[in-house]
Amino acid sequence: MAPIIHWFWRDLRVLDNAALHAAYSRSQTLVPVFIWDDTHLGWPHMGPAVRTFLSGSLAALEKNLQLLGHRLIIRQGNPEVELVRLARECGASAVLTNRDYEPATVAREQRVAEALAADGRRLESFKDLVIWESREVLTGTGNPYTIYTPYARARRARARQAPCPKLGAAKSAMPDGLTSVPLSSLTPTAPAAAAHYPPAGEHAALESLKTFLASGVFRYDVGRDFPAVEGGTSQLSPHFRVGTLGIRTALTRLETARAGGGAQGENGCRIWENELIWRDFYMQVLANFPHVAGSCFRPEYDQIQWSGTKEHFAAWCAGRTGYPIVDAAMRCLNATGFMHNRLRMIVAMFLTKDLMISWQQGERYFFEHLLDGDLAANSGGWQWSAGTGTDAAPYFRIFNPASQGAKFDPEGAFIRRWIPELRDVPADLIQCPGDNPLLLSRTRYPSPIVDHAVQRGKCLAMFKAVRQ
């Protein structure tokens, strides 16, 4: 029986992996491969933070496979060329992989399928990254959903999907002579923040999931909006990003936790499930409306004349805007590669509505720094905040950063953690130090670079201009 190649991409795990499971079941000889494809390991697919996390996750995958008697082959180059070459070398008739939904990755898959077909072989792709794909959940009129709530309702009505079994031990040895590029030679230069990245790999992902489902999830409804609360959210997004955690596993284990969590924990479990549905929602938006990769979902907003300045953008990036909740969030992102969801909304709205800088610039900055940087969720989140996307906050809803800070970091604990200049400022003054010149002169913290009330008016005018 001919060997079968499994081509890893966003699925760096041996448990609950649809294509890997199929490849293993169908052949005596499995050839697992990861292609280090420089084109798809850069903008807009993968930023430096994700690339570093991916590299650690690959090392963990290599070990996990080894424990089962398999060997991970790593090749560098163009997958159309490398997969054909490897298939010839090992005599494989098929390459199996899990589908990704980014427009350029879809096109890549098509090119690989054609190259393999021209060589008398086939590419087979599987649903694995999401529970339901872009054309599986449609409105009554057969169109994709563009509003989250009815999409989630339709989704919940569908049957659940059980995880695939863990990869079994190697049944027979891989053909001799298959070369592999050592991972150490591909390891990208790690960003300074890498010292704060969580442990990579499937084992770490499952441990984090276990910890969160043992307690955090039951309080998720009350804790998830407060960045200072330890364990208020799962922080599993980097694992979902590189596929060291599968979505079916997460949902199935959530159901088990939910069954044992009683009525008190029910709300938290339900809301966490909603977040996982948001993930699929934005993936189907990207698949059905690929123009959201770079452009506004609502084309009229592509006409907006964003009037922000380079200096303001630099202040936002560095966490020196004079708005403490914004600055604390940005400094946290720069230092750790992670930012809490509530803070992402606050800083994104501040950049687009107060500084009037395009969401694409913010999206790019996030992408470069976030450990979970993902085209679908990032474009979705930025366009939601800017008011240009599907299901977006309407353009006239503009967060007041100080009020958001007072509501979601009432004691200023998160702000103090990231802005040492404000460590000694009491809670009632910490959200608006700019109102108190004496305080500012004592702290060396910058005064606000813009006046929120003034900018709000300008922003509304900017949006109205394109709506007319």
Minimum distance from CB of 366 to ligand FAD (Å)? 6
Minimal CB distance residue for ligand FAD: 381
Judged by CB under 6 A, the stretch of 110-118, 142-150, 228-236, 254-262 that binds ligand FAD is: 228-236
**Is 237 among the residues that bind ligand FAD (CB under 6 A)?**
yes
89 as an active site residue: the answer is: no
Indicate whether 247 belongs to the interface with ligand FAD (CB under 6 A).
no
Pick from 7, 34, 226, 278 the residue near ligand FAD by CB under 6 A.
278
Q: Closest separation between CB of residue 302 and ligand FAD, Å?
A: 18
323: contact with ligand FAD by CB under 6 A: no
Q: Indicate if 341 belongs to the active site.
A: yes
Figure out which of the listed residues 105, 134, 161, 235 binds ligand FAD, where binding follows CB under 6 A.
235
Asked whether position 275 contacts ligand FAD by CB under 6 A, the answer is: yes
Q: 18 or 377: whose CB is closer to ligand FAD?
A: 377
**DSSP collapsed to 3 states, the chain:** CCCEEEEECCCCCCCCCHHHHHHHHHCCCEEEEEEECHHHHCCCCCCHHHHHHHHHHHHHHHHHHHHCCCCCEEEECCHHHHHHHHHHHHCCCEEEEECCCCHHHHHHHHHHHHHHHHCCCEEEEECCCCCCCCCCCECCCCCECCCHHHHHHHHHCCCCCCCCCCCCCCCCCCCCCCCCCCHHHCCCCCCHHHHHCCCCCHHHHHHHHHHHHHCHHHHHHHHCCCCCCCCCCCCCHHHHHHCCCCHHHHHHHHHHHHHHHHHHHHHHHHHHHHHHHHHHHHHHHHHHCHHHCCCCCCHHHHHCCCCCCHHHHHHHHHCCCCCHHHHHHHHHHHHHCCCCHHHHHHHHHHHHHHCCCCHHHHHHHHHHHCCCCCHHHHHHHHHHHHCCCCCCCCCCCCCCHHHHHHHHCCCCHHHHHHCHHHCCCCHHHHCCHHHCHHHHHHHCCCCCCCCHHHHHHHHHHHHHHHHC
- Catalytic-role residue among 382, 384, 400, 418: 382
- Show contacts with ligand FAD in window 126-165 (CB under 6 A): none
Active-site residue, 9 included:
no
Residue 53 as a binder of ligand FAD (CB under 6 A): the answer is no
With CB under 6 A as the contact rule, the residue among 377, 449, 450, 459 that binds ligand FAD is 377
**Contact region for ligand FAD (CB under 6 A) — 28-36, 117-125, 376-384, 399-407?**
376-384
Q: Is 78 in the site for ligand FAD (CB under 6 A)?
A: no
Tell me whether residue 29 or residue 385 sits nearer to ligand FAD (CB atom): 385
Give the binding site for ligand FAD (CB under 6 A): 224, 233-237, 240-241, 275-276, 278-279, 282, 341, 344-345, 348, 366, 370, 372-374, 377-378, 380-382, 385
